[in-house]
Amino acid sequence: MSDGWTQALHALGPMITGALLGTVPLALASFSLGLALALGVALMRLSRHRMLVAPARAYVSVIRGTPLLVQLFVVFYGLPAVGIVIPPWPSAILAFSLNVAGYTAETVRAAVAAVPRGQWDAAYMMGMSHTMTLRKVVLPQAARIAVPPLSNSFIALVKDTSLASLVLVTELFRRAQQIAAFTQDFMRLYVEAALVYWAVCLALSAGQSALERRLTRYAI
Amino acid sequence: MPSERLEPSTRRTPVLSVRGLRASIAGRSVLRGVDLTVNRSGVLAVIGPSGSGKTTLLRCLNGLHVADAGRITAGTGPDVHFDDAAGRRDAPRLRHRSAMVFQHHNLFPHMTAMQNVCVGPIAVQRRAADLVEQEARALLDRFGIGDRASSYPNELSGGQQQRVGLARALALRPDLLLVDEPTSALDPELVGDVLQLMSELAAEGWTMVVVTHELAFAADIADHIAFLHEGRVLEEGPPGAVLRSPEHDRTRQFVARLAH
Ligand SMILES: Nc1ncnc2c1ncn2[C@@H]1O[C@H](COP(=O)(O)OP(=O)(O)OP(=O)(O)O)[C@@H](O)[C@H]1O
Ligand SMILES: [Mg+2]
């Protein structure tokens, strides 16, 4: 085996470690926080009070109208300039969750709006409050509707986390860059990094299909 | 179970009283001054052409639609007045007095039949879960769907879904049962069954308001029929009088058209 292939084989370990200890936890943490925020934003968008609707719309508009890389730089390089210093990991999680929230808020809003009016009627009929109706009746059905688009958002996020390498978070791609800088074998190592991303995304897609199959026992 | 509702001494007390009820949807006036009374264990059938406001009336009685003016007293609850904003905010109180069976059932698709029946009594009324489940099982058994208790609504036929809807309403132990067109979403061969079921409930003493197009059924179970036309009760009285010798031309036309 030539040196190049041996080096590539040796790089696989650090890259998989980078994926398991960097990429995946970063994506999971950002997605969970982002989704919680998205739920809040979606409920504000759906509310009847303009005081709540307007900021939620503005938020979604700003996030969707600006590049993720710029958002990441604002948090990591911009905030310290005004005296707010956040370490790489938290700042990456912050930027990614704010970004995820902007995109998935629309998914959640659409899913809540897609739950038929009659479901609210039936819940209210039995005396449920607005909050209980959301919790017990509407959100479980909205979740079912939102699983496919949210899974897609999550897979997109896993790939987007490679940008965190630019703010010094040691994840899969930063590992690849470090090794490539050392060996100078850019082609082989970056293709290898791409293949590891691909493998992670294939695994996630399989998980997505399994989840959807489990949720199809009842149809909406 | 409503056995205590059959006490002769309470039979004449009104369970529902509606006065001057007005309601509008999207700026259009739909109910234009409705007066109705239903006594304990009474069955009121509401008939009338499509768009006359029958569903809207039921929704107002349950507080799902907030009326613009008038008054509703349901069960042992306080009067709800709709003439001012403060009164209108009380509309949700009506929900504790009545339970509604929807034309399209509106079962919760992510819950089993059993969960559909139990969620109201347990989560809203905070009754003991084991007792509620016993009662729910008895209701489902009685409606012939005991073996489908753990099925989801999309695994049930239309007729079975309707029974779950009925069980769900009864499990709330309402003073008043509101039923919107129980036969309209069913295959014709199932109509007889549901009418039979409703007659049994009526005989048991449940107080009901039933919107229906089945005049024979209305004549059978109702002790009072109201003919709704363009948001007003044009004619009302015992079934014999309203269906066989209507006073108004409109009622006569309506009855004649449905008689075939
Ligand atoms: N969501 C809505 N938006 C606008 N108008 C509505 C809405 N729901 C009902 N209406 C109107 O209100 C009027 C009364 O409707 P309602 O559903 O109470 O009639 P109905 O007597 O139950 O008719 P049907 O026999 O067809 O069920 C109708 O003219 C209808 O067009
Ligand atoms: Mg109707």
| Among candidate residues B116, B119, B123, B124, the one with its CA nearest the CA of residue B143 | B116
Is B224 in contact with B45 (CB distance < 8 Å)? Answer: yes
pLDDT at B8: 45
Three-state SS for A75-132 is HHHHHHHCCCCCCHHHHHHHHHHHHHHHHHHHHHHHHHHHCCHHHHHHHHHCCCCHHH
Residue numbers in A near B92 (CB within 8 A): 124, 127
ipTM of the complex: 0.92
End-to-end CA distance of chain B: 37
**Residue B159 falls inside a structural domain:** yes
User: How far, in Å, from the CA of A113 to the mean position of ligand 1?
Assistant: 22
CA–CA distance, A61 with A55 (Å, rounded to integer): 10
Is B75 in contact with B22 (CB distance < 8 Å)? Answer: no
Q: How far from the centroid of its chain's Cα atoms is residue B249's Cα? A: 27
- Helices (H), ranges, B49-207: 54-61, 85-88, 113-119, 129-142, 158-171, 188-204
pLDDT at B4: 47
**Residue B152 falls inside a structural domain:** yes
> What's the domain count of chain B?
1
pLDDT at B23: 96
CA–CA distance, A70 with A95 (Å, rounded to integer): 10
- Tell me how crowded residue B129 is: count the other CB atoms within 10 A of its CB: 12
Tell if the CB–CB gap between A128 and B123 is shorter than 8 Å. yes
**Residue B161 falls inside a structural domain:** yes
CA–CA distance, B62 with B221 (Å, rounded to integer): 22
**Residue B200 falls inside a structural domain:** no
Look at phi and psi of residue B63 and say left if phi exceeds 0, alpha if psi is from -120 to 50, else beta.
left
| Among candidate residues A166, A198, A171, A140, the one with its CA nearest the CA of residue A28 | A171
CA separation, residue B76 to residues B91, B119, B217 (Å): 15, 23, 29
Residue A184, C-beta contacts closer than 8 angstroms, at least 6 positions apart: none
Q: Give residue-wise pLDDT tens across range A79-100.
A: 999 999 989 899 999 999 999 9
Reported as type and span, the H/E element at residue B39 is strand B28-39
CATH 1.10.3720.10 describes domain A3-216: yes
pLDDT at A168: 80
Tell if the CB–CB gap between B95 and A126 is shorter than 8 Å. yes
Low-confidence ranges of chain A (pLDDT < 50): none
CA distance B244 to chain A (A): 35
pLDDT at B208: 96
User: How far, in Å, from the CA of B230 to the mean position of ligand 2?
Assistant: 13
**Residue B121 falls inside a structural domain:** yes
Is B238 in contact with B52 (CB distance < 8 Å)? Answer: no
pLDDT at B188: 81
pLDDT at B10: 52
User: How far, in Å, from the CA of B58 to the mean position of ligand 2?
Assistant: 9
CA distance A119 to chain B (A): 6
Residue A195, C-beta contacts closer than 8 angstroms, at least 6 positions apart: none
What is the pairing mode between strands B43-47 and B224-229? parallel
Is B45 in contact with B218 (CB distance < 8 Å)? Answer: yes
A48 touches chain B (CB under 8 A): no
Q: Atom of ligand 1 at shortest distance to CA of B59?
A: 18
Beta partners for B73? B17
Beta partners for B24? B29
Is B117 in contact with B164 (CB distance < 8 Å)? Answer: yes
- The C-alpha angle B34, B36, B38, rounded to 5 degrees, equals 155
Tell if the CB–CB gap between A126 and B110 is shorter than 8 Å. no
Instruction: Output the CA torsion sign for A19, A24, A30, A31.
Output: positive
Tokens for B31? Answer: 């109910």
**Residue B145 falls inside a structural domain:** yes
A43-49 long-range Cβ contacts below 8 angstroms, 24+ apart = A43/A112, A43/A134, A45/A105, A45/A109, A46/A109, A46/A112, A46/A113
Q: Give residue-wise pLDDT tens across range A41-67.
A: 999 999 989 999 999 999 999 999 999
Tokens for B231? Answer: 């948001």
Q: What are phi and psi for residue A217, nearest 5 degrees? A: -60, -40
Residue numbers in B near A136 (CB within 8 A): 119, 123
CA distance B150 to chain A (A): 12
Tokens for A206? Answer: 């399989």
pLDDT at A169: 83
**Residue B157 falls inside a structural domain:** yes
Low-confidence ranges of chain B (pLDDT < 50): 1-9
Q: Give residue-wise pLDDT tens across range B102-156.
A: 999 999 999 999 999 999 999 999 999 999 999 999 999 999 999 999 999 999 9
**Residue B164 falls inside a structural domain:** yes
Is B190 in contact with B159 (CB distance < 8 Å)? Answer: yes
Host domain of residue B132: 102-173
Per-residue DSSP letter, B244:
I
